[in-house]
Amino acid sequence: MKALLRGGIPFIIMSGIALLLYFQGKYSDAKGTFVVSLIAFFVGAASIIYNIEHWSLTKQSAVHFVIMLITIYPILLLSGWFTITSVFDAFKIFILFVFVGIILWSVLFTLAIIFSW
């Protein structure tokens, strides 16, 4: 239930914004906003993994990475945000996906330590 709330609330809000943009004729903006709403849904829903206290941080992070890999990475490939003409292009997007993930994980880990989350 927590996963649905954490992911569902931003998904509903952003999907509503995407719908408004669509009806205003801003189709590209609507599509981009909807893609972001999907990403927000999966990231928010998967964040509950870090509440499983009997798992180590390594296990939590690994499971979270796998979930992001099977949800977010395909969304990025299908979003239209990147030009994909070869397997190498998909690999470059994967490298970007990993790099951004490492940066975000590091920043949030640091903030969690600072603020005792």
Q: How confident is the model at residue 6 (pLDDT cuts 50, 70, 90)?
A: very high
Residue 25 phi, psi dihedral angles, 5° rounding: 85, 10
Q: Residues 99-109: what's their mean pLDDT?
A: 96
H or E element at residue 10 = helix 2-23
d(CA 77, CA 93): 8
The rounded distance, in Å, linking the Cα atoms of 72 and 6 is: 16
pLDDT digits (tens, 9 = 90+) for 19-28: 999 999 999 9
Phi first, then psi: give them for residue 58, nearest 5 degrees.
Answer: -65, -45
Rounded to an integer, the average pLDDT of 98-109 is 96
With beta carbons less than 8 A apart as the criterion, state whether 18 and 30 touch: yes
Q: What is the C-alpha separation between 40 and 21, in angstroms, rounded?
A: 18
pTM value surpassing 0.85? yes
Q: What is the pLDDT of residues 67-77, one digit of tens each?
A: 999 999 999 99
Under 8 Å between Cβ of 12 and 45: no
